[in-house]
Amino acid sequence: MKKLPVSKLLPGMFVQSVTKQTGRVKIKSQGWVKTQTSIDKLIKAGILEVEIDPDKTLTKTVPEKEQTKTPATKIKRDPWQKTHSAAQEMNKAKKLYDEAKTLQIKAFKDIKSGLNIDIAPFRELASGFMDSVFRNQDALACLTQMRQKDAYLLEHSINVSILMGIFAKHLNIEKDIIVELTTGALLHDIGKIKTPDEVLNKPGRLTEAEFEIMKQHAVYSKQILEESGLTGIAVDIAGMHHERIDGTGYPFGKKGNEISQYVRMASIVDVYDALTAERVYKSGMEPIKAFKILKEGCPNSFDGELLTKFIQCIGIHPVGTLVKLSSQKVGLVTESNPAMPLKPIVKTFYSAKHSRYTEVLDIDLSNKRIEDSLETTVKAGDFNIDLERFYKNSVLP
């Protein structure tokens, strides 16, 4: 017998038993896996490792009559394809974002009242996020930057869900799995509703005892989702997004292959959004600084290969980032440019040189006729800019 990570399982192999999993799947009998679809189902169910009998591996898995048929090839999507402009998509994206806040508030109230949460609306919303991301990811990506300092608990989970959808699309993950990923991300911190406010909102460093209390939110999130009828990927994300590759994470101390690709993705996105978030007691970090901290956590805490792909996916200057151009114009990155990441479309509205608001202009830095370039990211506070006013008047249709 030979133990094998499920990612190395091939059609034709004989599975003797499941040796590691994150779910509770029971294999009714031993047998051959004859198609890649069967293997994908095992992965989706949370199977991490299996025991195979190498002597029983089939050399032919396709009947002779079918061997002349051309095998179906999986069509890869263009992760940057857009069917709508960011302006066209923004209203739909804003409606989805507001709906997510309403759902989160209701879920918190239900849990406090001792009720199970209704998962169906969250799945529907996750599907809506996915559809919006596939039409034009820039609209929802921009909304993740429109933060309210006193709404972190609500907005963090929504932002992680959106960024997970964008990340999964970039990795060409199947759409039904993306819905599971975004659903799990939407609810990954739901257990924090059971964390005492004095610990949850403490501005300073937590004591050892307080940190032990904080760790329990992941356990609570897992329990809440299981009691509400969720299984598989979504539950794994809720319960394991603080696990780390070297085993130093919490609450279960998982490590290495015990942590699936999906959970590894969630841990990167969760920390990135937490670092860049505006809070009552601290300013959000610039994306490039957050990337640096995440890079320092590789390979012990985070998957370096996945982190590189995440940075490629959202860009060095993500949509919604406030930037200053060489002309001293200040504006927001409103559309990404995957071919030339340093030349996005920027909506300018302020002059750093003259310290005043200016006419709103959309500047495509990739246009050869534009003699301007991206100089640096900036903070609204650097220029006393009322960014919320600008969002409402110039970004949101």
Mean pLDDT of 74-93: 75
Are 306 and 313 a contacting pair, CB within 8 Å? no
Q: Which of 2-16, 70-84, 117-131, 299-313 has the lowest mean pLDDT?
A: 70-84
Q: What pLDDT score was predicted for residue 393?
A: 64
Highest mean pLDDT among 71-75, 79-83, 145-149, 168-172: 168-172
What are the residues whose beta carbons fall under 8 Å from the beta carbon of 21, sequence distance 6 or more? Answer: 45, 46, 47, 48, 49
Task: Annotate 348-377 with b (16+ C-beta within 10 A) or e (fewer).
Answer: bbbebeeeeeeeeeebebeeeeeebebeeb
pLDDT computed for residue 375 by the predictor: 93
pLDDT tens, position by position, 171-205: 999 988 999 999 999 999 999 999 999 999 898 89
Q: Which segments of the chain does DSSP mark as H helices, in order?
A: 36-44, 86-112, 120-143, 152-170, 175-186, 197-200, 208-227, 233-240, 261-276, 287-296, 304-314, 387-390
Do the Cβ atoms of 5 and 49 come closer than 8 Å?
yes
**Domain locations along the chain:** 2-57, 86-314, 322-395
Name residue 320's amino acid: G
Whether this prediction's pTM lies above 0.75 is answered by yes
Query: Is pLDDT above 70 for 70?
Result: no
List CB contacts of 276: < 8 A, sequence separation 6 or more.
284, 285, 286, 287, 290
- In terms of C-beta density within 10 A (0-12 exposed, 13-18 middle, 19 or more buried), how is residue 253 classed? exposed
CA distances from 285 to 17, 84, 106, 282 (A): 47, 30, 30, 9
Average pLDDT of span 19-43: 74
Q: Please tell me which residue, 304 or 79, carries the higher pLDDT value.
A: 304
Sorting pLDDT into bands at 50, 70 and 90, what band is 148?
A: confident
Which pLDDT band, with edges at 50, 70 and 90, does 353 fall under? very high
Residue whose token pair is 């982190």: 307
The DSSP code sequence of 298-360 is TTTTS-HHHHHHHHHHH-SS-TT-EEEETTSEEEEEEE--TTSTTS-EEEEEEETTTTEEEEE
Tokens coding 225: 């989702």
d(CA 148, CA 101): 12
The dotted CATH code for 86-314 is 1.10.3210.10
CB 189 within 8 A of CB 328: no
Task: Return the number of other C-beta atoms located less than 10 Å from residue 153's C-beta.
Answer: 16
